[in-house]
Structure formats: structure tokens, C-alpha cells
A and B are shown apart, each in its own frame.
Chain A
């Protein structure tokens, strides 16, 4: 399968930790990248590769991979982290790409 599945929505209390998961067969052999979308703002890359953050991304964002799943963890969530998050990876062929279904994170 080339699908990547995410939970539709999660909530987290301010300052607490939230983990967003992405599941799919292609993740057994490919790392996921993670993207943050906020209304009216450009989408930004937050995690890529094994666990890399682009310049300017706070270190409270981290990524991991295990078997057929990938996770984005926000440790000490802030109000500004409220957004939609999408995972992405190559598909099982390695030639195409696929996005996850997206997770809306609400910071309480």
C-alpha cells in the first residue's frame, strides 16, 4: 500500500508533550518528513530525514521511525504549535511520494 495514515486530530495541554503518528508500509524503508500548516501562512518543513530540524525550527520538535510508522513529537507544546501536521515519504516503489492524511493539533 502507498497510503500514509494519521489520526485526524489530537489535543495537548499547554506545555505538555504530544506525539503525532504516521503509519504506512513505505515507512519500513523510508524516512518521513513532517510539515506544519497554519491558516494563511506558508506550509513549513519541521522534520526531515532521521531526525533533522531545518534552521529556525525549535528543538521541541523531534522525529522518529519504528517498523511501519513514523512519529512527530512536540515536547512542551506551545500555543503557536496549534496547526495541521502532515507526514510525507516516498512510496514503496521509491519513485513517487505520498502525504499522510493529516493531523490537527489543538493546544489547550
Chain B
């Protein structure tokens, strides 16, 4: 069974940093791109960014709203993806999902992890 489990969320002050982890199991992690998607409470889904697999040189791409502040990385030896979030703003408050990418769609989704940016 494919599983993705996010961790590392919590409360952080504006301007602070937080690093989310995504532990994957049940599939060949190194062969897939990994994406991060977020959803503020009562709002819609927002694609945050992705990291491709080693054949594509681990290329990353980000939504305009987080570019320059967030960075995605991965450790294929540990089947784990990361989302480093810097210069956090109150509007970054959301549930963050780590999702496997495949051919332009996202599956499966986990329960996500809550990040709250507040003073």
C-alpha cells in the first residue's frame, strides 16, 4: 500500500522557518516526482511545488506565492521528501500535503500536516 506521512508541522512566528518531512512507503520512491500542495482552512487547494526524480536531475519548480522562500528536497536513500519554508507569512497557514506525482496527476493523498504562522 502506498503511504505518505507528513511530519514537522506546528506553530511558528511570522518570519520564521519550518521544515516539513514526508516519509514514503509502498512504492519505488526514487522513480517518482514529489509535490507539495496546501489548503488554508475553508479555502481551495493550492499547488506549492515539486521535485522531480534523479533522471531529471531533481529539478524543482514552485508556485509564484512561495518562490524564493520555500525549497523542496529529497533523500531517496531514506524515501523522504522535504519542504523547507523560510520567511513564513500568516498567509502560509494551511494544511500541507505531500503527494506522489505521476504523469501530471497526484495520487495518493495523505492526511496532511497543519502549519500555523502566528504571533
Binding site for B on A (CB under 8 A): 30-31, 33, 35, 37, 42-45, 48-49, 54, 86, 88-90, 95-102
Taking A96-B63, A97-B35, A97-B50 as contacts, is the C-beta distance between A54 and B107 under 8 angstroms?
yes
- Whether the Cβ atoms of A88 and B44 lie closer than 8 Å is no
A43→B111 CA distance, assembly (Å): 8
- Name the one of A33, A95, A101 contacting B106, with C-beta atoms under 8 angstroms: A33
- Name the one of B46, B47, B50, B109 contacting A42, with C-beta atoms under 8 angstroms: B109
Taking A35-B106, A48-B103, A97-B35 as contacts, is the C-beta distance between A43 and B44 under 8 angstroms?
no
Q: Shortest Cβ distance from B51 into chain A, in angstroms? A: 13
Taking A45-B105, A95-B61 as contacts, is the C-beta distance between A86 and B111 under 8 angstroms?
no
- Whether the Cβ atoms of B45 and A44 lie closer than 8 Å is no
- Whether the Cβ atoms of A42 and B110 lie closer than 8 Å is yes
B97 CB-CB contact with A under 8 Å: yes
Contacting residues, chain A, for B63 (C-beta < 8 A): 96
- Whether the Cβ atoms of B111 and A101 lie closer than 8 Å is no
Q: Shortest Cβ distance from A34 into chain B, in angstroms? A: 9
Encode contact with A along B3-40: 1 for CB under 8 Å, 0 otherwise.
Answer: 00000000000000000000000000000000101000
